[in-house]
Amino acid sequence: MPEFLQEVGDFSASSISPVFLLSILVFLSAAYYLRRHPKNKKGLRLPPSPPRLPLIGNLHQLSALLTAPSESFPGNTAPDATSPRADPHSRGLIRGGGAGGAQDPGPRLRHQALLRRRRRPHQSLRNVSFAPYGEHWRQGKKAAVVHLLSPNKVQSLRRTREEERDLYAFSNGFVCRVVAGSSAAREVRTQRFREAIDGATALLSGPRLEELFPSLAWVTKLPGADSRLKKLAKKWNALLDEIVAEHERRAGKREEAEEVDFIDLLLSADPADLIAAGTDTSYVVLEWAMAELLKNPALLERTQREVREAAGGKPAPTEDDVASMPRLRAVVKEVLRLHMPAPLLIPREAMEATRVLGYDVPAGTRVFINAWAMATDPEWWEAPEEFRPERFLREEKAAPPADLRGSDFQFLPFGAGRRMCPGMNFALCEVELALASLLYCFDWSLPDGAAPEGLDMAESPGITVRRKTPLRLIAVPNSAVLA
Ligand code: HEM
């Protein structure tokens, strides 16, 4: 044994006492545990977060969220620890300042976070989707559900749906028409609505500075800081004022058979919310469905055959025909799973302090529910990254079809609980009919003879996840029906 070691002590194996060994083991386990489950200054055990740097914490990871939220939220091609698509099990917590934001790390966290703490954090927004829990939200949602989105009302709108067909124009035209009347769906207005919706989507995508760093809230109050919001509000107000004025002019002169729309029922309500909530989401589903089908010619052929057989001979499919198109409906479900339009749902806020999976979630924490992670969790889904509509067909025994109505937490494209999407029935009828019509009336191919496998499937993240590059397709009328 070298001399210098002997000076410190004899560490040969025979001289180490079991008590000493045990103490080291206990110390190392405690250090490991505390590193994985750290307690903050208030003694709270917060959920795990991506690695933090001294002094600046997670600020360096947040810069992308604040400057280009649409690129740093879901769908990163190079996922990092803050991306909901990084790894279904290790999605972390983003701790900025103040309460910060917690991201649901997976299906196990769901109950408490999703169902019990349900206030939305956008205190300044007064529409249904972002309104905080309370009387204003309750009235708005009740009005939408009773007058527009109940199963009976959705059924009664089938003629209107069958009259309005064509991707974005379809979802926007249809929603505008039932919410605000047929004049709102005129082509020029559709374009103006699209601009207003795009503006709102950009503004609402990603977190806001004051929510991540409450101590910096004063920055947002500086003159000019909300100029984008003001411009957008002006656009919406101009559009809605015109529509409301038309309704007021028409009031009393209505023919009995004339369509009664949502504004007729609720002149005082805010239809902008429903038009925005109902247009982008449905359009995104249709665009992804067409992209996935074009990428997989065998699936396109099978689905198209089913649609054409079910609606055989008619000028266009009806909703009764769609009921006998299980494959087409499975395609829509699979799009809702793999290309979930709102992968983080709409953020919630913990109304009171709570504990989830052994972690403390302080009151006021902004919680993102990572529904996309649950829908692609290999624990629940076989080959989750593959587009396989068959998984929703009855004959596939391996994976029993998950219900999308908010009770199966591995599949929540419309959310769950009290703040669940009230437009689900409306959207499913609309999207299935539009997709069936596209496949029935046209033959589809990629431009310039492009290879299907080369079709770009990159996403452009935001509050709704659209395609990064718009889908360009060649449509040839189906001679059998359009002759
Ligand atoms: C495929 C189409 C659609 C999808 C995927 C979708 C998805 C969602 C999701 C994920 C939420 C948040 C739920 C939560 O946080 O738990 C939501 C909320 C909402 N959606 Fe939809 N939606 C669609 C179509 C529609 C349509 C057509 C309408 C109305 C015409 C609509 C109106 C609303 C409203 C008003 C809310 C807010 C509900 C609340 O906060 O209480 N949605 N939607």
Residue listed under structure tokens 């002019």: 249
Residue with tokens 């559709």: 190
Amino acid of residue 445: S
Is residue 56 pLDDT above 70, yes or no? no
CA–centroid distance, 464 to ligand 1, in Å, is 11
CA 123 – ligand 1 centroid, Å: 18
Take atom 6 of ligand 1 and give the residue whose Cα is closest: 414
Ligand 1 atom at minimum distance from 431 CA: 1
Residue 422 confidence class, pLDDT cut points 50, 70, 90? confident
The CA 302 to ligand 1 mean position distance, Å, reads 30
Ligand 1 atom nearest to 279, measured from its CA: 27
Other Cβ atoms closer than 10 A to 51: 8
Express as a percent the part of the chain with pLDDT over 90. Answer: 20
Model pTM score: 0.67
pLDDT computed for residue 479 by the predictor:
80
Which residues are bridge partners to 443 per DSSP? 476
125, 136, 421, 430, best to mutate for ligand 1 pocket (most atoms within 8 Å of CB): 421
Report the alpha-carbon distance of residue 340 to residue 205 in Å, rounded: 15
- Nearest 5°: CA angle at 202, between 198 and 207? 155
Instruction: Give the CA angle between residues 361, 73, 124 to the nearest 5°.
Output: 65
Q: Which of 113-117, 329-333, 390-394: highest mean pLDDT?
A: 329-333
Residue 9 or residue 363, greater confidence: 363
Q: Highest-confidence range of 34-48, 98-112, 256-270, 324-338, by mean pLDDT?
A: 324-338
- Work out the average pLDDT over 239-243: 77
The length of the chain in residues reads 483
Q: Is the ipTM value over 0.85, yes or no?
A: yes
| pLDDT-derived band at 304, boundaries 50, 70, 90 | very high
Q: What is the mean pLDDT of residues 337-350?
A: 88
Residue ranges for the binding site for heme?
Answer: 421
pLDDT surpasses 70 at 130: no
Q: What is the Å distance from ligand 1's center to 422 Cα?
A: 6
Alpha-carbon distances of 94 from 71, 203, 338, rounded to whole Å: 16, 20, 24
Per-residue buried b or exposed e for 125-157, using 16+ beta carbons within 10 Å of the residue's own CB: bebbbbbbbeeebeebbebbeebbbeeebbeeb
Q: What is the mean pLDDT of the chain?
A: 71
DSSP state of 119: B
Nearest CA to ligand 1 atom 27: 278
**Cα 414 to ligand 1 centre (Å):** 6
Could you tell me if 275 and 149 are in contact, meaning their C-beta atoms sit under 8 angstroms apart? no
Of ligand 1's atoms, which has the minimum distance to the CA of residue 179?
30
pLDDT of residue 88: 36
Tens-digit pLDDT profile for residues 459-473: 886 777 888 898 999
> What's the rounded mean pLDDT across residues 123-128?
52
Is 94 in a helix, a strand, or coil?
Answer: strand
Is residue 103 pLDDT above 70, yes or no? no
**Helix, strand or coil, per DSSP, at residue 336:** helix
**Residue 69 in this model has a pLDDT that exceeds 80:** no
The verdict on domain 60-482 having CATH code 1.10.630.10 is yes
Residues with CB under 6 A from ligand 1: 128-129, 141, 144, 149, 175, 273-274, 277-278, 281-282, 285, 341-342, 345-346, 413-416, 419-423, 426-427, 431
